[in-house]
Amino acid sequence: MMEEGSGGGRSNYNRMNDAKNERRVGLIYDQRMCKHRTPYGDDHPEKPDRITVIWNKLELAGIPQRCVILNAKEAKDEYICAVHSKNHVNLIRNISSKEYSKRNRIASKLNSIYLNEGSSESAYLAAGSVIEVAEKVAKGELNSAFAIVRPPGHHAEYDEAMGFCLFNNIAIAASFLLDQRPELGINKILIVDWDVHHGNGTQKTFWSDPRVLFFSVHRHEFGRFYPANFDGFYTMVGEGPGAGYNINVPWENGRCGDADYLAVWDHVLVPVAKEFNPDIILVSAGFDAAFGDPLGGCRLTPHGYSVLLKKLMDFAQGRIVLALEGGYNLDSLANSALACMEVLLEDKPISKLSEAYPFESTWRVIQAVRQMLSAYWPTLADKLPTKLTDQKAPPHILLSSSESDDEDDDASKIISKDLVQAVEDVVEPILNLKIEDYHDEVNSALWRSKLSKTDIWYAGFGSNMWKSRFLCYIEGGQVIGMKKLCSGSVDRNPPKETRWKTFPHRLFFGRDFTQTWGPGGVAFLDPRSNSEDKAYMCLYKITLEQFNDVLLQENVPDHDMNSPLFDLNALDSILNEGSIPVEAVKRGWYHNVVYLGMEDDMPILTMTCPLSAMESFKSGEIPLCAPSKDYADTLVRGLVEGKQLSEEEATTYIQVASTKPL
């Protein structure tokens, strides 16, 4: 193969594979799309490594040598403007040439977006690459293709970048085939979005268009999961000529796996696809529903993805285009992408999935979707037989601790560790994981079980004084003013109790920009006590397991936690030492765990900067900075709703903390 272009893409388009029986599969990857990265070099789930690990995995498996490697091309504005407003296109085109501070101000006003000097080029290449492979497949020059692109696209709306997405790559490609290349005979497109998040931007693009059947299966949790609205609910079916051509399958909970997705394919997507009979299929191929993804919380395996894709190849003569969307566990991302490429190349027969059953909630959602859409798709009108829907996995069991001394009575109400759940947690993934991954999963289950039995008080002194904000770290999501969402804790049970106390520590505000809040300082606490200082803190009674998840999210949210950051030994030590810097997350600003005393015989812990950072704040090496209005308002809400101060008093408290010298 020949090397071509500064972007590192490879071209062998004129060298078709001589094997007549092998499918012609296209592949696009270009290192120039790695230029889009966080402006401060902070770690972030949507990072350049996402596409490089896929490419490296495919190369190790010898996949590129068997594919038609295409050059990435930047999309033309006229094609992008079919999906996005002219203002939005101008913004993304020019954003990388703007000065550093202006870019950050723009990003801070958007939902879960960062921008840098490489963002414009990457966004144009991503959109153009998906157009390129889609056109080749539509022409019949390729049977199928995979565009390994970033930034992803399916959240991007007509006039807004959001959810890591700048341009809606898949929507732009679909619009291009339908409106710019009518001679190709593409009149009906099936878009399958299996990313764990709802493809809100794609849905809105084709909301009234019967030429596009949009299908999205995603974690929804009744609007609590990102993008945290009801656009992804099953009642959203399209309107006007497009009524019935928008299908949402909204999971009520996380942990959905191969059996759940297969049930949706067999009883919703496949029957409708047969009736729709698409000319081509475009897949928003997010791999964040994969087992181990830090943002997704679902359990699809690489084999599961391959089965889903294989079923799609029965339609449109196998003309399928995959465009990368999400996927933030680098191992599961690469393994899942490889599994899909092997399907496109028809490497080997796809074996059946194991005899696992879907959750009861999955059958409930499937039946609701079928009933809602039966008026548009008669194939869905028949009720599923009870014999089928009775085949279900045990329901989710919420873990809880009880203060009752009557163990038998508690056991009759709540099963703390169900045997079948343990099998699902540990045994089921064995066949699909490497040995080291299996040990990681076992270790994770063991330490979480152990730490879930110990309660502590977590003391929030900044935005976490507002309970709604703190619950983002437990339940996931975001509140007003936040620019990015929290993934939440594994155990999503709310705090058992909330209290308020004051402590002799100095509250101050430092740094000048965060990914979560944008420009402005955020709260820190001097780890040293001083009787002349007074800091208000909201105490949340949570488990030590949950404390570990909060500690992770406060510091390096995309880090895999196969072992605890702060275990029982650390808890014993901190009672004597007073504070413990957690080395595993030392890149974070709040990696210093501080012991504040006891309450009801339980330790009170908070997290702030280490003493070394205090000296840097004093010297000016790290800037002191007043908080933004959005951030300050969050603290005010906490203090007022907690009945600690009036709004005027709370505002004064924050103003003094942000102006008083250290």
User: CA 160, CA 149: separation in Å to the nearest integer?
Assistant: 20
| Nearest of 239, 240, 173, 160 to residue 200 by alpha carbon | 160
**CB of 647 within 8 A of CB of 640?**
yes
Cite the active site residues: 155
- What does DSSP say about strands 25-28 and 68-70: parallel, antiparallel, or unpaired? parallel
Q: Based on DSSP, count helices (H) and strands (E) in the chain, helices before strands.
A: 22, 20
- CA 400, 463, 599: angle at the middle one, nearest 5? 50
Question: Which is nearest to 469 in space by CA: 529, 397, 523, 548?
Answer: 523
Contact 293, 305 (CB under 8 A): no
Q: Kindly report the CA angle at 255 between 254 and 261, in degrees rounded to 5?
A: 100
Q: Whole-angstrom Cα distance, residue 190 to residue 245?
A: 9
Tokens of 53: 């690990």
Q: What is the amino acid identity at position 276?
A: F
Task: Count CA within 13 A, CB hemisphere, residue 511.
Answer: 18
Half-sphere exposure of 441 (CA within 13 A, CB side): 21
What string of H, E and C letters represents the secondary structure of 164-178?
CECCCHHHHHHHHHH
584: Cβ contacts below 8 Å, ≥ 6 apart: 559, 565
On whether the CB atoms of residues 141 and 24 are closer than 8 A, the answer is yes
The token duo for 642 is 């907690």
Label residue 1 exposed, middle or buried (CB < 10 Å: 0-12, 13-18, 19+): exposed
Contact 189, 178 (CB under 8 A): yes
Joined tokens for residue 515: 């990914």
User: Can you tell me the distance from the alpha carbon of 16 to that of 18, in angstroms, rounded to the nearest whole number?
Assistant: 6
Going by the DSSP 8-state scheme, the letter that residue 434 receives in this structure is -
Strands (E), 530-660: 535-543, 579-581, 592-599, 602-608
Nearest to residue 585, comparing CAs of 547, 621, 616, 622? 547
